[in-house]
Amino acid sequence: AQSVTQLDSQVPVFEEAPVELRCNYSSSVSVYLFWYVQYPNQGLQLLLKYLSGSTLVKGINGFEAEFNKSQTSFHLRKPSVHISDTAEYFCAVMNDYKLSFGAGTTVTVRA
Amino acid sequence: GAVVSQHPSWVICKSGTSVKIECRSLDFQATTMFWYRQFPKQSLMLMATSNEGSKATYEQGVEKDKFLINHASLTLSTLTVTSAHPEDSSFYICSARGAGGSDTQYFGPGTRLTVL
pLDDT at residue A29 tops 80: no
Q: Which residue of A has its CA nearest to B98?
A: A97
**Separation CA B60–CA A58 (nearest Å):** 35
**Residue-wise pLDDT tens digits, B15-67:** 999 999 999 999 888 889 999 999 887 888 999 999 888 889 999 999 999 99
A15-35 b/e (C-beta count within 10 Å ≥ 16 → b): eeeebebbbbbebeeebbbbb
Bridge partner list, A94: A32, A99
Q: Tell me: pLDDT of A57 over 90.
A: yes
Nearest CB among B34, B43, B110 relative to A90 is that of B43
Which residues of chain B neighbour A104 with C-beta distances below 8 Å?
42-43
Q: How far is A58 from chain B (nearest CA, A)?
A: 16
